[in-house]
Structure 1
Amino acid sequence: MARYLALEKAIYQLKFGNDKYNPLAGRMRYARKLKGFTQSELGIRGGLHVDDAGTRINQYENGRHKPSFITLKHISAALEVPIEYFYVESERSAELVCFIDKMSESEKIALTERLKSTQHRNSEGKA
């Protein structure tokens, strides 16, 4: 488990830099760069005022300030990622959140049932 956590941290640092571990800040920067947006572009697309959009995104990405929920909701829409993406620590969980967000409701229900079934079988095997 410790080896896995060390790997997660190493992956995070490669993607987001060595700033203090802040999933929101690092993930925002990473998603923005993947989309090819400047900080100003993201801020404007996220509904921030044009005069300080870039400055505010910079503050969010550097962990100096945190956006309100509604602001982050607009930013996540501009980046086409679910808002949960900004809060999970694990890279695998962040990836799963993005996949699940794109699923239909019936696909989510089917996945939930499969996971429950798998978990049930695994817990029976341990007993």
Structure 2
Amino acid sequence: MSRRDLRRVVGLRLREARLRRGLTQAELGRQAGLDPSVASPRMTQYESGQHLPRAEVLSRLASVLGVPVSYLMAEDEGLATLILNWQAMTPEQRAVLIAAADQVVRAGDTRPPP
């Protein structure tokens, strides 16, 4: 993924997660430790894809939003949904999902077994 695409994806995911939490840009920025005087404009820059937050800022934003950093960087909608669902699952549910995914992959694999 290009840096430009990454900025766009992170911006989209930040906005989606922020709106789900019912936060304004300024509230999110302040809660993530941004200077209150620049919190809103900085979040606008991040959400519009103009700038990409540094790793430490991205981590704090994810923490405030209650999502993993991997969600914020997921370029595919399906993957983003899986990441959020994974986060909500119990270890037992995760094991079932992994087993099911393995079966789906094996069922579609036309190579002969080793």
**TM-score, normalised by the number of residues in structure 1:** 0.72
- 2:79 corresponds, among 93, 100, 108, to 93
Are positions 1:45 and 2:58 aligned together? no
Q: Which deviates the most, 65-74 or 99-108?
A: 99-108
Are positions 1:104 and 2:90 aligned together? yes
- CA offset digits 1:86-116 (Å, max 9, x no partner): 2122212111110011223343233212211
Displacement of 1:30 in angstroms is 2.1
Q: CA RMSD in A?
A: 2.0
Shift in alpha-carbon separation, 1:110–1:90, aligned structure 2, 3 A: same
Q: Which deviates the most, 82-91 or 92-101?
A: 82-91
Displacement of 1:60 in angstroms is 0.7
2:59 match = 73
1:5 match = none
Displacement of 1:72 in angstroms is 1.0
Q: Which has the higher contact order (CA 8 A, sep 6+)?
A: 2
Displacement of 1:122 in angstroms is 2.3
Letter in 2 for 1:56: R
SS class of match (1:114): helix
Aligned sequence identity (%): 29
Following superposition of structure 1 onto structure 2, how do residues 7-22 of structure 1 map, counting pairs within 5 Å?
Answer: 22=8
- CA offset digits 1:42-92 (Å, max 9, x no partner): 001112222221121111112221111121111112112221112122212
**Which structure 1 segments of 5+ residues have no match?**
1-19
Deviation >3 Å, runs of 4+: none
Letter in 2 for 1:37: L
Following superposition of structure 1 onto structure 2, how do residues 111-126 of structure 1 map, counting pairs within 5 Å?
Answer: 111-124=97-110
C-alpha distance in structure 2 between counterparts of 1:74 and 1:106, whole Å: 28
